[in-house]
């Protein structure tokens, strides 16, 4: 069942990316409109609107890119690697 889900997501990469960007935009918009910014704790919070939302989105992107690079350096193996 989970394999079928991943196969469908892999076939519809454009739809997955569009949904991801729309979701990130909705979260960013919600943060800009409804988050309480009256008492910032750091300089960045005071001067960059939705700093923590942007920071989180950037950190997730860096983690994904890092995982892809790490996987391409030799961590990923063929499906039949252990059968040999």
The answer to whether 49 touches 37, Cβ cutoff 8 Å, is yes
Q: What is the pLDDT of residues 35-72, one digit of tens each?
A: 888 888 899 888 998 999 999 999 999 999 999 999 88
Helices 51-70 and 13-34, interaxial angle, to 10°? 150
Output Rg (C-alpha) for the chain, integer angstroms.
19
pLDDT score of 82 more than 90? no
What is the spatial distance between Cα 70 and Cα 57, in angstroms, rounded to a whole number? 20
Task: Enumerate the domain spans of the chain.
Answer: 2-73
What is the spatial distance between Cα 51 and Cα 67, in angstroms, rounded to a whole number? 24
pTM higher than 0.85, yes or no? no
What is the spatial distance between Cα 52 and Cα 46, in angstroms, rounded to a whole number? 11
Using 50, 70 and 90 to split pLDDT, how confident is the model at 33?
very high
């Amino acid at each position: 069942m989970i394999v079928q889900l991943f196969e469908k997501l892999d076939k519809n990469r454009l739809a997955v990316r569009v949904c991801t960007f729309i979701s990130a935009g909705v979260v960013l918009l919600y943060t800009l409109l409804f988050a309480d910014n009256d008492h910032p704790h750091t300089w960045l919070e005071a001067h960059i609107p939705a700093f923590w939302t942007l920071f989180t989105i950037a950190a997730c992107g860096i983690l994904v890119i890092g995982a892809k690079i790490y996987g391409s350096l030799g961590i990923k193996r063929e499906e039949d690697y252990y059968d040999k």
